[in-house]
Structure 1
């Protein structure tokens, strides 16, 4: 016999008095959330993954600390030390140490599965699924094929003339300040340098910051937009909290942060249009990124449609400037804190070259200790503190089955500072990257897991510009260490302590004193 509700029940519910409703609604919600918490803690498919219990119950803790106050990068490092390589950091999300995450999540196929760990749609910013950083796999392959020639070794050699001229301008400005006895905000000058370089390589024009010594509005907007996009990720998850969110942080601050990205998109599109009018070569014999985008294929069609060009130039500007700037700023910070390693590198550079005119990308690539210093810089301070998350297709990770739809995060900074992966993980030791035949090789680091260091990500979607970045860094360090001695100003020793991260690092000025070396 089927069970039926009494016909009078709806009328009884309607007749509930206010006092009954006040009791009924909170009680129902209370038991709902208690039941949900019990399910998530003990019956959820991820309940076997260790981690803080409160995070397993509610996601807002992770979302706030990641996207609003930017402190989760430091917390997750401690969580990996406490709970191991797989940590549950939300009801449906896990953090995976890169020693497991890079080979098992970022490879072409999920291990033992037919699906792939796809990126979270529009995670970096709204519309990123149309660009090379967030595109679905098929579109990503097409965009990468088109852009790859712009980052080949041949292209980098062609671009070296442009890059070297702008490094000349940096050296000229630092020399002038050194002779006047002025200190510099080195972070600012690195931003000037790499935004000018990438502007010239993308739009055939710089932002003129190296020349004027002033920050272009594009740079200012960019750093606002990094935090603005992060705020937006939080509000997309919790739109009903927008009013208290604006009250807590201040509406003007939130609006300013979010508008920066919109203004830069418009600016990048206008600059793209101006560059496209110049054709494949903006100046006789000068080839840049756009040269390869505008090339015609066998059918006479443009390699990349105009719409794709305008969408992706913004990505090229950001990925090719801020990340390298961050790495170089950290190098000058950490090398100043490690006098022995700094002296070794200075000696190698100054004994390799007798004149600045000899310093070029090919020659710099022969200095193994320089490369070791760069690798160690990227280990200790990966410019992308967090990689954009992936979504599990239903696959095994680290021996555990992770159900479909689970959000997977890999935090390079936490991986690269993990004592299970490295000896003295918080110490700057370029020696760990040297071959046993090198005079400065140190066997204490022989068992370090160097393979897990992937500052440019891993797999078919790793950074397309990593070879350009390495060449730029080797050239810039060699030029500056050949000409200058340098030191941090007092009080700068804690520059990196407690820095916040919103995918990228939120950095403070770094005060450095340069002096032109004798002879």
Structure 2
């Protein structure tokens, strides 16, 4: 090709253009690298949380916690960090975790007079948990939370729980019947106790929340609603990580149709709505007492909107079921791992009750070794393993003597708190005697154990959960001898996505002599 002026001009233009493009890419790359470098320096040395101990990788980026959450191991990660750095650790650029027991009061407590709590409740995930746009107990602002809590409180009072005792015993006895039928059909039959506990707790709450069970015990299979609940918890936990990366969140929403993202949530909401509709059509119950008898007794002015009814019913079907079944499963596994404790508890139960007809809420609540075992099971296998995040108020806040500037996140994680050697001697050992005055554990900080949280947003149904767990475990150990199957060894080594992802707990049962 001849070197005409036109060809030379074209060649020069291409050379300049390519050079400009390369320079632009280099400039952009330099700017991006510079931004992240400067941000890292700021977070390490000038950020308001830079004074707190913790690994540099966690101070610089949310990535370590995000990856750990995605893998279902964030509870283990946080516990390990506390074992390395102490009772206060910076686990993310804008978040500090505490395992000092006083953190419960400082973060979640009632606060000063007229204040709703130690720190304001502020959900971090911008994605609304309920598809109808209304609120529920767990996410409501303080005024709505107080209003709704006042409505539901009577349904979970000691008086109401005593009225509901026949309902509890109905399903406790049905559980024992189904287990007995299984081993009568095949004495070597292996039974998944996780399933059986889930069937029982969901049937109980279904009856309490909607006036009818889900019939999981009688059918020996999961209701489709329950299956959707399990899937939604894991999905929501993982997608919740995007709150730290707005651009990723926008890209995800642009690429993935919202109908796909919302499918499980809408399905769960519709299940709840259908059942609430059926229950409301019945009006006040004359056959027994359930949650809606108390709700419907409230005036329209101070009562719940229909959407709030649907949302809270949906909440009860998660918070009042899966957590209880989880503790029962973990408690059973711990007993099977520790024959001495199993024998002591079984002896106490069988010595206290001649037959299942003698069992009651009051009598099971009066068993000292039973109560010690529950506390120790909650310590080593708490259904909730992480802490509820709170955002420090505009004026800042003080947690365990440490000033937290405004707008930053603090939490008290259950698993890390309960397995901390600074709170409990031999923290990974299952020893119920630590709750019965054993001098070996005199130095234990027993107030560190707060499985149902503290303050104005503590668990509304904690008394019901205790009664339910005691009745179920009493009935099981009074009637059966359990043995752990080989495939369920090391059962407690699990992933957690807000709640524990439980594997089958396979056992063989024999009717006790």
The normalised TM-score by structure 2 is 0.90
Secondary structure, counterpart of 2:398 in structure 1: strand
- Does the 8 Å CA contact 2:206/2:214 hold for their aligned counterparts? yes
Report the CA distance between 1:31 and its aligned residue: 1.6
Report the CA distance between 1:64 and its aligned residue: 2.8
Task: Report the equivalent of 1:260.
Answer: 264
- Does the 8 Å CA contact 2:105/2:118 hold for their aligned counterparts? no
Task: Report the equivalent of 2:470.
Answer: 474
Task: Report the equivalent of 1:8.
Answer: none
Task: Report the equivalent of 2:20.
Answer: 17
Task: Report the equivalent of 1:422.
Answer: 424
Task: Report the equivalent of 2:203.
Answer: 196
Pairing 1:277–2:303 present: no
Deviates more, 1:462-471 or 1:386-395: 386-395
- Does the 8 Å CA contact 1:456/1:466 hold for their aligned counterparts? yes
Task: Report the equivalent of 1:9.
Answer: none
Q: Aligned partners of 2:125, 2:354: CA distance in 1, in Å?
A: 49
Secondary structure, counterpart of 1:99 in structure 2: coil
Q: Aligned partners of 1:207, 1:481: CA distance in 2, in Å?
A: 25
Q: Aligned partners of 1:334, 1:92: CA distance in 2, in Å?
A: 36
Question: 1:144-188 CA distances to partner (integer Å, 9 max, x unpaired)?
Answer: 100000000110011111111111110001011122221111101
Task: Report the equivalent of 2:29.
Answer: 26
Question: 1:443-463 CA distances to partner (integer Å, 9 max, x unpaired)?
Answer: 101111110100001111100
Matches within 5 A, 1:68-467: 68-97=70-99, 99-109=101-111, 116-121=118-123, 123=125, 126-127=128-129, 130-179=135-184, 180-181=186-187, 182-238=189-245, 240-241=247-248, 259-281=263-285, 284-297=286-299, 301=301, 303-393=303-393, 394-434=396-436, 436=437, 442-467=438-463
Question: 1:353-374 CA distances to partner (integer Å, 9 max, x unpaired)?
Answer: 1111101111111111101111
Secondary structure, counterpart of 1:119 in structure 2: coil
How many residues get paired?
A: 488
- Does the 8 Å CA contact 1:396/1:402 hold for their aligned counterparts? yes
Report the CA distance between 1:110 and its aligned residue: 7.3
Question: 1:240-290 CA distances to partner (integer Å, 9 max, x unpaired)?
Answer: 4469989xxxx99x9988632321111101111111111121xx2311001
Question: 1:403-450 CA distances to partner (integer Å, 9 max, x unpaired)?
Answer: 11111122101100101100111111110111x4xxxxx210111111
Task: Report the equivalent of 2:40.
Answer: 37
Pairing 1:512–2:507 present: yes
Secondary structure, counterpart of 1:426 in structure 2: coil
Q: Aligned partners of 2:270, 2:117: CA distance in 1, in Å?
A: 36
Secondary structure, counterpart of 2:90 in structure 1: strand
Pairing 1:47–2:42 present: no
- Does the 8 Å CA contact 1:202/1:313 hold for their aligned counterparts? yes
Report the CA distance between 1:49 and its aligned residue: 0.5
Identify unmatched segments of 5+ residues in structure 2. Answer: 1-16
Q: Aligned partners of 2:235, 2:100: CA distance in 1, in Å?
A: 27
The normalised TM-score by structure 1 is 0.89
Question: 1:284-315 CA distances to partner (integer Å, 9 max, x unpaired)?
Answer: 23110011111143xx6573232221111101
Secondary structure, counterpart of 1:354 in structure 2: coil
